[in-house]
Amino acid sequence: MTGGPTGVDVAELDGRCREMARELRAVALDIDADPDAIRRYLHLEAVRMQRLTLVPERYQDRPLAVTGRPYLGMSCLERTVTQQRLAYGDPGTILASPGPSLSGVAVLTLGDPAQQDEYFRRLMGAPTWTFFGLTEPAKGSAAMELQTRLEPAAAGDGWLLSGTKRYVGNAARAQLGVVFARRAPGPIGVEAVLVDTDAPGVTARLLPTVGLRGARLSEITFDRVRIAPDRLLGRHLRPTRRGLLGAVQTLLRFRPGLGAMGLGVAEALCDHIGAQRPGLRGWPALTLQSLRERVAALTRMTRDVAARVDAEVDTGRADVMRLTARISAVKLRSVRIAEEASLFAADVLGSASLVEDPWLDKTFRDVRAFEFMEGAGVLHQMAVFSGVLKGQYPPEPAGRPGAAR
Amino acid sequence: MDAGVKSRAEPLPLTAPAPVDGRSAGADPDGGRWAGMVREIHRRHGGRRLLVSASAHAACAAADLAAVEVFGLPGAGAVHWVSRRRCVVTDLDHRPATRSGLTIVRVTQRWPSMEPGPAAAGPVPPLAAPDPRLSWAADLCRGHLDLVRGLLDRAVDHLNSRTLDGTPLLARQHPQALIADAAMDLAEAAECLAAAANVAQVADIHRRAVTAGRSVIRLLGASGFVQAGPGGDLYAAELTCRLYLDAGADR
């Protein structure tokens, strides 16, 4: 396999993460019972990897090395590989880990040098949890629809942030994050700001969920929270290149990784079934084989899309919009196969398996979350439909370059 | 089963039901609905009785647990009614179910002599249907379908309140098609259930009900994943019905 954009060997990274997944599996049930227990597992290599992913090398004293090169997770392909393999161990522990995550992409995409410097120095100073505040109670993750407001402060010095974000991972445990808010009507009226959760006017609470408790979905409310002028991300950019565009591009660059998590869990479920029922025959055996083949195919497709996202970034245009349909398709199909595998596992392993097999029960509950994370399934279906109309989807079959649609 | 067992029964060695968490955070008026439905199904089947699945597990609404009387189905095939006095009922402390207001118990026979036969099996309690397993299974499956039907109504409201590019999602053809598909799945499943002649058929219908439920809950986005709401109920319903209906263990 070819090397990633930063030179890390992808095959080596893949194998390394498979090893790390074992330690995640060992703590998975602990994190499900109490996601705050993540503080006991900060020493795990996989957790450390999450903490360092997306942190530029100049801020890292001791980067993770893969075949002698520092792993920074800057490329979509690298993150797709790591998220898939680590999710095989436990997706909840990945999501409960400290680190930049989605907010880091936003800061890297939109932040000026001073903003990036402050953000990453802080994250490297101590284990720090972050959040990405986009989704709202009545509007979901539709960035154009958001209602959180950014109003000029009375003194004319900065802004006042008001509104509520819901279903935001880690917000109730985070120290800082990125919040998208509307400064003015229209698509260029959306801004992204850095917010400290200990600022006056910020309140947050955990939302108990059916599964994937490590994600610590939260509701966070801002009541006239003061935002200093230097906390506006992308202040050095034209309004058309920041705010909404930053939200959309951040999500697009993260979605293949989220889909890959679904693939990792689907593979884990297949292996679990194989281990529990080694003598499987008949239609269950055929179904299991079919699931494995589809997971392998989706893995190839997801990594191909991720590499294309990276190629766009490398051109300097960072225009991943034209890949929207393909990104949505691999994300949706990958998370759906995880759910399908969980239902199949519960069928094959028997009526009491959800009661007697805690890992299966946890995974059975977890996989439903992937559906709405990084955009609800129905929106992805519409994105794929739009791609069909534009002739962007389905992609040309391999080996038929230039074939007419 | 010995006559009068219910009145002589000693208290079951079970812990008190844990409070349903999440009621204060993200509370949902529809949350915990499944536990109420299970309680009602128990009532309909002769009161506080607990039928045990072939794998000797059972689910019931937590509030009723201390008073239930256990009947067992130790193996696939013939119905075996086992006195609670001859069984040990253990609360499995299954937290995800507890959060939905249910308790999952394991039922084991107290004595090895508990083989089917006159000494162990008492008179079949008076239940309405000729095969109590079928009646019980059908009621559980019907409950699941009712739950999904409620979710469908909720999804319609949800999509009507969400806009994309200024248009309610419900006004778009794709969500409309998803709603229609789910509604047709439910109607077809209900029709099949009405004609089901055995538990295996009910189990097959239940699998389709699960698929329909998953299709509908997706339409609710993240709000369908909050414990104290429809997502928690759907999980609890799937868990309960799998214990009783899923033929997987017997394949």
- Contacts of residue B236, Cβ cutoff 8 Å, sequence gap at least 6: B34, B35, B97, B100, B101, B102
Which amino acid does the sequence have at A331?
Answer: K
Please answer yes or no on whether B221 and A372 come within 8 Å at the CB atom.
yes
| Distance in angstroms (rounded) separating the CA atoms of residues A60 and A125 | 10
- Contacts of residue A279, Cβ cutoff 8 Å, sequence gap at least 6: none
Q: Hey, how many other C-beta atoms are within 10 angstroms of the C-beta on B210?
A: 21
Average pLDDT in chain A: 90
To the nearest 10°, the Cα dihedral for A321, A322, A327, A328? 80
Whether the per-residue pLDDT at B83 is higher than 50: the answer is yes
Residue B172 DSSP one-character state: S
Of A208, A212, A378, the CB nearest to B22: A208
Residues of B in contact with A349 (CB under 8 A): 248
Residues of A in contact with B175 (CB under 8 A): 378
| Distance in angstroms (rounded) separating the CA atoms of residues B49 and B87 | 14
Q: Rounded to 5 degrees, what angle do the CA atoms A381, A383, A386 make?
A: 110
pLDDT, mean of residues B94-111: 80
β-strand A64-66 against B102-109: which pairing, if any? unpaired
Residues of A in contact with B25 (CB under 8 A): 205-208
Of A102, A112, A149, the C-alpha closest to A234 is A112
Enter the tokens of residue A184.
Answer: 């003015």
Q: How large a percentage of chain A has pLDDT more than 70?
A: 93
**ipTM (interface predicted TM):** 0.75
Residues of B in contact with A343 (CB under 8 A): 210-211, 214
Q: Which residues lie across from B167 on neighbouring strands?
A: B164
Of B21, B99, B169, the CB nearest to A378: B169
pLDDT tens by residue, B30-65:
557 898 898 888 778 766 566 766 667 778 776 555
Average pLDDT in chain B: 71
Confidence of residue B75 (pLDDT cuts 50, 70, 90): very low
CA dihedral for A224, A226, A229, A230, sign (positive or negative): negative
β-strand A190-196 against A176-182: which pairing, if any? antiparallel
Q: A360 or B126, which is more confident? A: A360
Least confident of A138-142, B63-67, B142-146: B63-67
pLDDT, mean of residues B109-119: 46
Q: Hey, how many other C-beta atoms are within 10 angstroms of the C-beta on A297?
A: 12
What integer pLDDT is reported at residue B125 of this predicted model? 46
Please answer yes or no on whether A351 and B207 come within 8 Å at the CB atom.
no
pLDDT, mean of residues B63-72: 58
Minimum distance, in Å, between the CA of residue A33 and any CA atom of chain B: 9
Q: Which residues lie across from B58 on neighbouring strands?
A: B105
State which H helix or E strand residue A227 sits in. Answer: strand A217-227
Cβ atoms of B203 and B246 within 8 Å: the answer is: yes
Minimum distance, in Å, between the CA of residue B239 and any CA atom of chain A: 7
Of A343, A354, A356, the CB nearest to B239: A354
Minimum distance, in Å, between the CA of residue A77 and any CA atom of chain B: 27
To the nearest 10°, the Cα dihedral for B146, B31, B212, A360? -130
* 3-state helix, strand and coil shares in percent for chain B, rounded to the nearest 5: 50, 10, 35
- In a mutational test of the B interface, the residue from A144, A209, A273, A287 whose CB has the highest number of chain B CBs within 10 Å is A209
Which amino acid does the sequence have at A395?
Answer: P
- In a mutational test of the B interface, the residue from A146, A165, A207 whose CB has the highest number of chain B CBs within 10 Å is A207
- Contacts of residue A8, Cβ cutoff 8 Å, sequence gap at least 6: A66, A67, A69, A70, A71, A78
What integer pLDDT is reported at residue A1 of this predicted model? 43
Cβ atoms of B236 and B213 within 8 Å: the answer is: no
Rg from Cα positions in chain A: 21
Minimum distance, in Å, between the CA of residue B2 and any CA atom of chain A: 29
pLDDT tens by residue, B175-221:
988 988 888 888 888 888 888 888 888 888 898 899 999 999 999 99
Please answer yes or no on whether B95 and A355 come within 8 Å at the CB atom.
no
Cβ atoms of B4 and B79 within 8 Å: the answer is: no
Which amino acid does the sequence have at A260?
Answer: A
What integer pLDDT is reported at residue B48 of this predicted model? 59
Please answer yes or no on whether B26 and A207 come within 8 Å at the CB atom.
yes
Minimum distance, in Å, between the CA of residue B121 and any CA atom of chain A: 24
What integer pLDDT is reported at residue B111 of this predicted model? 53
Which amino acid does the sequence have at A232?
Answer: L
Enter the tokens of residue A263.
Answer: 């693939």
| Distance in angstroms (rounded) separating the CA atoms of residues A326 and A380 | 10
Please answer yes or no on whether B226 and A209 come within 8 Å at the CB atom.
yes
Q: Which residues lie across from B102 on neighbouring strands?
A: B61
A–B CB contacts, 8 A cutoff, strictly below = 137
What integer pLDDT is reported at residue A271 of this predicted model? 98
- In a mutational test of the B interface, the residue from A212, A354, A382 whose CB has the highest number of chain B CBs within 10 Å is A354
State pTM to two decimals.
0.84
Please answer yes or no on whether B225 and A379 come within 8 Å at the CB atom.
no
Q: Hey, how many other C-beta atoms are within 10 angstroms of the C-beta on A328?
A: 27
State which H helix or E strand residue B132 sits in. Answer: helix B132-161
Residues of B in contact with A361 (CB under 8 A): 94, 96
State which H helix or E strand residue B60 sits in. Answer: strand B57-61
| Distance in angstroms (rounded) separating the CA atoms of residues B182 and A314 | 44
- Contacts of residue B122, Cβ cutoff 8 Å, sequence gap at least 6: B1, B2, B81, B83
Please answer yes or no on whether B225 and A209 come within 8 Å at the CB atom.
yes
Least confident of A46-55, A236-245, A299-308: A236-245
Give DSSP secondary structure letters for B179-236.
Answer: HHHHHHHHHHHHHHHHT--SHHHHHHHHHHHHHHHHHHHHHTGGGGGBSSSHHHHHHH
State which H helix or E strand residue A12 sits in. Answer: helix A10-33
State which H helix or E strand residue A178 sits in. Answer: strand A176-182
pLDDT, mean of residues B76-93: 59
Confidence of residue B86 (pLDDT cuts 50, 70, 90): low
| Distance in angstroms (rounded) separating the CA atoms of residues B202 and A162 | 51
Of A339, A347, A381, the CB nearest to B214: A339
Minimum distance, in Å, between the CA of residue A246 and any CA atom of chain B: 18
**B129 alpha carbon, distance to own chain's centre:** 19
Cβ atoms of A187 and A174 within 8 Å: the answer is: no
Confidence of residue A378 (pLDDT cuts 50, 70, 90): confident
Of A207, A210, A371, the CB nearest to B25: A207
Please answer yes or no on whether B169 and A377 come within 8 Å at the CB atom.
no
Q: Among the ranges A263-277, B68-82, B99-113, which has the highest mean pLDDT value? A: A263-277
What integer pLDDT is reported at residue B64 of this predicted model? 58
Of B53, B165, B223, the CB nearest to A144: B165
Q: How many CA atoms lie within 13 A of B22 on its CB side?
A: 29
Helix (H, G, I), strand (E, B) or coil at B33: helix
Residues of B in contact with A365 (CB under 8 A): 96, 235
Minimum distance, in Å, between the CA of residue B8 and any CA atom of chain A: 30
Cβ atoms of A140 and A376 within 8 Å: the answer is: yes
Whether the per-residue pLDDT at B77 is higher than 60: the answer is no
- In a mutational test of the B interface, the residue from A31, A332, A336, A351 whose CB has the highest number of chain B CBs within 10 Å is A351
Give the residue from chain B lying closest to A204, CA to CA. B25
Of A208, A351, A352, the CB nearest to B226: A208
Helix (H, G, I), strand (E, B) or coil at B150: helix
Minimum distance, in Å, between the CA of residue A313 and any CA atom of chain B: 27
Residues composing chain B: 251
Of B21, B174, B178, the CB nearest to A208: B21
**A395 alpha carbon, distance to own chain's centre:** 24
Please answer yes or no on whether A355 and B92 come within 8 Å at the CB atom.
yes
Q: Which residues lie across from B160 on neighbouring strands?
A: none
Residue A280 DSSP one-character state: -
**A46 alpha carbon, distance to own chain's centre:** 15
* Residue where the block lists tokens 């239902």: A343
Please answer yes or no on whether B247 and A346 come within 8 Å at the CB atom.
no
Residues of B in contact with A382 (CB under 8 A): 164, 172, 174
Of A158, A108, A107, A104, the C-alpha closest to A128 is A104
**A180 alpha carbon, distance to own chain's centre:** 17
Of A207, A347, A348, the CB nearest to B226: A207
